[in-house]
Structures are given as structure tokens and as C-alpha cells.
Amino acid sequence: MEQRRHWWNGKWGRLARRDVFLRVDGDRWHVEQRAGGAEGVSRFYEYDSVEEAEDTIRALLEGPDTWRELSPRPPSGWAPPV
């Protein structure tokens, strides 16, 4: 599974932090909505198309939080150019 995009609500702490991830695995698109940081609680959504996944993401990012898009992690085995 490859992570394509990641949004964070800009808040620190287990009670306030929220993250939304967009991932792809073959021809399936996955959205993860996480509350509480790395050890928090996640809800998962699975779609046939990126458009459906992006519709869900737009809905999840609605509201008063100031969402920031973060860079995805490089693939495992990736090394910076020398």
C-alpha cells in the first residue's frame, strides 16, 4: 500500500490531533481518518476510484480546523541522491 497524501489539523496532543490519509493499493483507494495521533483510533474507508476517495476527504476536512497537507513518507528503501 502506498501513501499518496496526508492532512493534519495542526493540533498537538492525543485529544486534539486529527489526521486524514489517502493511500492506494493496486486499483483500490483507501482513506484513513485518525483521531489522537499515532496511537489513536482510526476509521477506514475503501473505494474503487480516487474521485470517490477525494469526495470523502473533502467532507472529512470540513469544519473549523486549519488543515495542512504534509508530504508523504518516501517509499521504503528510498535513499536521497548523493
- Look at residue 16 and tell me whether its pLDDT is greater than 90: yes
Amino acid 65: pLDDT: 93
Which of the listed CATH numbers 2.20.140, 3.30.200, 1.10.10, 3.40.50 matches domain 2-69? Answer: 2.20.140
Average pLDDT over residues 40-54: 97
**DSSP category for residue 69:** E
CA angle 43, 44, 45 (to 5 degrees): 135
How many Å apart are CA 28 and CA 63, to the nearest integer? 27
**DSSP category for residue 47:** E
For the chain, give every domain's residue range: 2-69
Amino acid 72: pLDDT: 65
Average pLDDT over residues 51-69: 96
Categorize the per-residue pLDDT at 30 as very low, low, confident or very high, splitting at 50, 70 and 90. very high
- The overall average pLDDT reported for the chain is 91
Cell numbers placing 26: 493496486
80 phi, psi to nearest 5 deg: -65, 155
